Amino acid sequence: MHDLPFNFVDYEGIKRLFIYLYKDVQLVTRNTAKADIINRYKKEKEMVKSLLDDAPGRISFTSDLWTSLTTYGYMCLTCHFIDNNWTLQKRVLSYTFMPPPHSGLALSTKIHNLLCEWALEGRVFSITLDNAYTNDLSVDTLRDELNLKDLLVYKGDHFHMRCCAHILNLIVQERMKGIDPSIVKIRESVKYVKGSQARKHKFLECVSLVSSGNKGLSQDVSTRWNSTYLMLQSAIHHRRAFQHLDLIDSNYKYCPSKVEWEKIEQFCSFLKVFYDSTLMFSGTNYPTANLYFPVVYLCYIELKKQIEGDNEHLKVMASKMWLKFEKYWSEFCATLAIACVLDPRYKMTFINFVYTKIYGEGSLEFDRFNTKLQSLFETYKSSPSRQPSSSIALGNDLNVRNDDNFDTMEAFKVRILFYLFYIVCFINVVRPN
């Protein structure tokens, strides 16, 4: 836990502490401490294996690569599944050293070996990775290996899932490459205020004078667009304070003009739907697969609105983002929609509504999706069931989900807003204009 070496138990100070706390303590050596930790690991691994064996359905996986400060590479493989109580579970199966080269073949071999080690080769449904060329190669290789043994559902059509939050990040970063000068002014303004205690004090006086509240200023990281969004949001909140600072501080040279403030507000409003969507996808204590299709559709609506709008600045920005968005939407649209259909709040009605809005009346896209869904159903219908023999009674034992299942109250608020949007969509289907 604290990155201490095994010979920590041999430290004289530690020995004296143990003896002081309990004079009859039986001291251990570093070899004993190492053996105890390995035995504990083996016991925990068997417990996780037992939990996975009892899981009634297939299992999905996520994998990530990290590079340490010492340039060593590490791979993390995590499994996600629903247990017998219909609770979303997540377990880290491996956090292991990944020597170079980090090629597609090396990554697929590593993941395949881990699946075999955990006896999960035949229970894989999908794997989610960041969008990278080597990841694409590794997934293709792994899919071919599993398909040779006929282990994947529907020949692996739903095997590869890209990280939706990462895709949204790439889409927005495409726009952030040519950052607007007005955003640079906000960044420099925040740096200026935070540059010394005297400036902070002067800015707080401005805040107090114009009554803009006690919300803090957020400094962004230029490579992370969501931090830039939060910075702009906080700056807009203190717009009048910055304008007052410009009047009383001759050294402050970065205050945006009225036109630039309006541009920043428009840009911030445009990014909000992407920020809220990323926040939704970042939840870990509740399922998010059923949210992908409707939430990504919200992003689709926002992009189309700006492309067809009158604001030339936003039109150019949205057009650049659209090229990347369209690629990923067309590639994963059906898979995202299937998860949405299984959510009883949306079903086929919502999917039909969205496809009609996107592709128009009489399009064959909805029929193609329906065919895929039926084929997937037949695949599961013909496969042997892993469901336990005892049934789970519904009714009084069914608990209402509480706020603890959301990572933050902000995520809860965002989710409610999206649900309201779905209700409006459903009303439009039932009572079209």
CA distance 237 to 180: 19
**Least-confidence region, from 51-55, 295-299, 424-428:** 424-428
Residue holding tokens 């600072």? 245
**Structure-block tokens of residue 237:** 């909140």
Any domain includes 192: yes
* pLDDT on residue 387: 57
Residue at 87 is within a domain: yes
**Continuous segment of H or E residues that includes residue 52:** helix 30-54
pLDDT at 179 over 90: no
More confident residue, 271 or 211: 271
* Length of the chain as a residue count: 433
State whether 65 and 135 are in the same domain.
Answer: yes
Range of the domain at 244: 175-273
pLDDT at 283: 61
End-to-end CA distance of the chain: 60
* pTM as predicted: 0.72
Q: Based on the structure, what is the number of domains in the chain?
A: 4
Residue 276 sits at φ, ψ, to 5 deg, of -65, -40
- Residues 21, 87: Cα–Cα separation, whole Å: 42
DSSP state of 99: P
Per-residue pLDDT tens digits for 134-147 = 899 999 999 999 99
CA 174 to chain centre: 18
195-211: b (≥16 Cβ within 10 Å) or e = eeeebeebbeebbeebe
pLDDT at residue number 399? 36
Three-class DSSP category at 399: coil
Looking at the structure, tell me whether residues 119 and 143 fall in a common domain.
Answer: yes
347 within some domain? yes
Same domain, 231 and 357: no
Q: Smallest Cα–Cα separation from 348: which of 330, 373, 323?
A: 373
Confidence of residue 408 (pLDDT cuts 50, 70, 90): very low
Q: Are 219 and 231 in contact (CB under 8 A)?
A: yes
Beta bridge partners of 242: none
- 325 and 426, same domain (yes or no): yes
Looking at the fold, whether 107 and 191 belong to one and the same domain comes out as no
| Residues 231 and 294 both lie in one domain | no
Identify whether residues 373 and 424 lie together within a single domain.
Answer: yes
Q: How does the average pLDDT of the chain come out, rounded?
A: 83
Poorest-confidence range of 62-71, 74-83, 106-115, 386-395?
A: 386-395
Q: Is residue 74 part of a domain?
A: yes
Domain boundary residue, one of 134, 162, 190 = 162
- Contact 75/65 with Cβ under 8 angstroms? yes
Is the same domain home to 70 and 31? no
Write down the pLDDT at residue 32: 92
